[in-house]
């Protein structure tokens, strides 16, 4: 089943990536590891996840994981969440436009963040400000005009 093989590959790659980030924050990886841990509770499944963490490239571990995921996809809730997770993993990067993050700005003039006109493209994030402090001497506009 393609969903199982994609899911197994994603689980293995998630744990490989988790080792690579060395504490750096990567939302998708962090959320993915949490999701996997939630579904792999119980003595046998927890031991399997420990094996994946220890040696994610092992053929034997991948085979054991494949068997577990094949059984788990029989649960409709797990299958639905796995399909969503696989779909999210296929997105190369979130599509963003006019996103401001981690900025301190003080200006005497106006601040306009947005587009003039309409976009036909849907974005995952558009016209968003996070972790920022903006002080404008004039008008402040966030959004398309």
Q: What is the number of domains present in the chain?
A: 2
Residue % of the chain over a pLDDT of 90: 7
Give the tens place of pLDDT for each residue, 109-120: 888 888 887 777
Q: Can you give the residue range of the structural domain that contains 121? A: 96-142
Of 66, 89, 112, the one marking the end of a domain is 89
Verify that 11 and 53 share a domain, yes or no. Answer: yes
End-to-end CA gap in the chain = 48
Verify that 56 and 82 share a domain, yes or no. Answer: yes
Of 89, 113, 133, the one marking the end of a domain is 89
What is the radius of gyration, based on Cα positions, of the chain?
21
- Among 3-7, 33-37, 94-98, which is the least confidently predicted range? 33-37
Instruction: Indicate the pTM of the whole model.
Output: 0.50
Please choose, from the candidates 141, 37, 142, the residue with its C-alpha nearest in 3D space to the C-alpha of residue 99.
142
Verify that 23 and 60 share a domain, yes or no. Answer: yes
- Is residue 114 within 8 Å of 144, Cβ to Cβ? yes
- Give every CB contact of residue 21 below 8 A, 6+ residues apart in sequence: 29
């Amino acid at each position: 089943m393609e969903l199982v093989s994609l899911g197994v590959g994603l689980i293995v790659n998630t744990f490989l990536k988790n080792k690579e980030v060395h504490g750096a924050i990567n939302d998708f990886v962090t959320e993915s590891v949490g999701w996997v841990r939630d579904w792999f509770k119980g003595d046998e499944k927890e031991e399997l996840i420990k094996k994946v963490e220890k040696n994610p490239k092992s053929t034997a571990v991948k085979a054991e994981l494949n068997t577990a995921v094949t059984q788990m996809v029989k649960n409709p809730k797990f299958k639905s969440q796995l399909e969503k997770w696989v779909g999210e993993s296929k997105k190369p990067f979130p599509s963003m436009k006019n996103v401001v993050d981690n900025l301190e700005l003080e200006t005497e003039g106006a601040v306009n963040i947005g587009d003039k006109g309409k976009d036909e493209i849907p974005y995952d994030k558009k016209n968003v400000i996070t972790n920022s402090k903006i002080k404008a001497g004039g008008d402040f506009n966030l959004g398309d005009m």
